[in-house]
Amino acid sequence: MLKRLLNKKQLVVLGLNSGTSADALDLAALQIRREGRKVTVKFLSGRTRRYPDKLRSQVIETADSNDISPDRMMCLDNALGQFYGREASRFIKKLAVNGTAVDLVASHGQTARHLPQRSRTAGFTVNGSLQLGSPAQIAAKTGKIVVGDFRQADIALGHEGAPITVAAMARLFAHPQQSQLIVNIGGMSNFFYFPSSRSGQRTQAADCGPGNSLLDLLSQKLYGEHFDRNGRHALAGEVSQRLLSVLLAEPFFGDRAVSTGREAFGEKLAGKILILGKKLRLQTEDLMATTAELTVMAVVQRLGRLVAADRSLTKLCLTGGGLKNRFLKRRLAEIFSDLDVCSVSELGFDPDLVEAAAYAVMGEACLRCESLPTVFGRGGKQKRQPVLGIIAQPPQGV
């Protein structure tokens, strides 16, 4: 099966992603064609499937808790794998009805732990990132070859395991004549900057800090709602500069890490915000406004210099669920007033499917043994580039 795929110039790859928000599985089918060194990518179709409530609460509990047993982790890995496999298989069948045959599945999985900082373990210096959603389960359910565990090869080279989608995003978005700036506001927020060839700048990408993760937790605790729909609670509040300055003193904003997760911007910090809010006598809406402003400031801190340096930039394109939060969009448009703050849909992409599409690109690259650089603008070109992804084979026989 693997050999047959390798002989094909053109593959249809189904990318699967679920981000730190643990809200849904995003599926994106891409047609990827190779001619010599030239790779052409065409988006075919996609959909988003919400996590069943029970699955979502187990995922959030696992990601936010420090004392989850290995048994629970292991079972959730297989449960998620079955859910992904089921949804992928349904989508593959639907595509087949329309005459599209999926060749390969590429699945990021659900991040349960992301520890970018190295520490000593049993005499070894290690860091790590753990994604659940067993590729073997997906392969068994779909009958397709599955590429998963994209972060491990980057970690094995001593990096943080994030960001890893930069080269794939470049394949989707970079343009020789036009600098592109893309900000994804998912559970965390992150950015991609692809300069035009005449700008004299270099590609950059990193996590900015929190995205919706803290807002979602506060919405749950303060209003019993999964998220702040359209940012209405945040829009009704006032930003507390005192609380904001405490939040901006969080360690992530001071260190040089390029990635973060729910460990830094999850349950623990949400609890701290509630305590400080009481002390400062803030209204619930003020807590939402201040937390939303923290997301905005995290993005501004990362992008300020870059935007000033590239005068040819015209747009800041948003992706991810945070695009629908009007507080976030309005504040970013106010601050980056020289740019058109818009949806990535203006570049022809569905904002909910960009990451799933990037994993499809990465799955194809893995199959072709193509290494994708993960380090940009820091320390120059790396000697060794990772081939991202691990291949799981489907069962054989009838």
- 248 vs 318: CA distance, rounded Å: 22
Q: Which stretch binds Mg ion (CB under 5 A): 15-23, 163-171, 173-181, 382-390?
A: 15-23
Cβ–Cβ under 8 Å, residues 193 and 376: no
- 11 vs 33: CA distance, rounded Å: 6
Cβ–Cβ under 8 Å, residues 288 and 215: yes
Long-range contacts of 275-280 (CB under 8 A, 24+ apart): 276/243, 276/246, 277/243, 280/240, 280/242, 280/243
Residue 198 CB, nearest approach to Mg ion (Å): 36
| Residue 186 binds ligand ADP, judged by CB under 6 A | yes
Residue 48 CB, nearest approach to Mg ion (Å): 7
| Residue 355 binds Mg ion, judged by CB under 5 A | no
| Residue 19 binds Mg ion, judged by CB under 5 A | yes
Output the CA–CA distances (angstroms, integers) from residue 311 to 199, 202, 315, in the order listed.
8, 14, 11
Q: Which of 304, 381, 359, 394 is nearest to 149 (CA)?
A: 359
| Residue 23 binds Mg ion, judged by CB under 5 A | yes
- 176 vs 187: CA distance, rounded Å: 30
| Residue 350 binds Mg ion, judged by CB under 5 A | no
- 20 vs 263: CA distance, rounded Å: 11
Q: Which stretch binds ligand ADP (CB under 6 A): 208-216, 260-268, 286-294, 334-342?
A: 208-216
Site for ligand ADP, residues 224 to 253, rule: CB under 6 A: 227-231
Look at residue 255 and give its three-state secondary structure.
Answer: coil
Site for ligand ADP, residues 316 to 345, rule: CB under 6 A: 320-322, 324-325
Residue with Cβ nearer ligand ADP (152 or 219): 219
Question: Total binding residues for ligand ADP by CB under 6 A?
Answer: 20
| Residue 262 binds ligand ADP, judged by CB under 6 A | no
Residue 207 CB, nearest approach to ligand ADP (Å): 12
Residue 279 CB, nearest approach to ligand ADP (Å): 26
Residue 368 CB, nearest approach to ligand ADP (Å): 26
Question: Total binding residues for Mg ion by CB under 5 A?
Answer: 4
What dihedral angle (degrees, nearest 10) is formed by the CA atoms of 133, 139, 142, 147? 80
Tabulate helix, strand, coil % of the chain (nearest 5). Answer: 40, 25, 35
Taking CB within 5 to 8 Å according to partner kind, which of ligand ADP, Mg ion, none is near residue 231? ligand ADP
Q: Which of 173, 102, 152, 203 is nearest to 391 (CA)?
A: 152
Residue 381 CB, nearest approach to ligand ADP (Å): 29
Q: Which residues bind ligand ADP (CB under 6 A)?
A: 18-21, 23, 186-187, 212, 215-216, 227-231, 320-322, 324-325
Q: Which residues bind Mg ion (CB under 5 A)?
A: 19, 21, 23-24
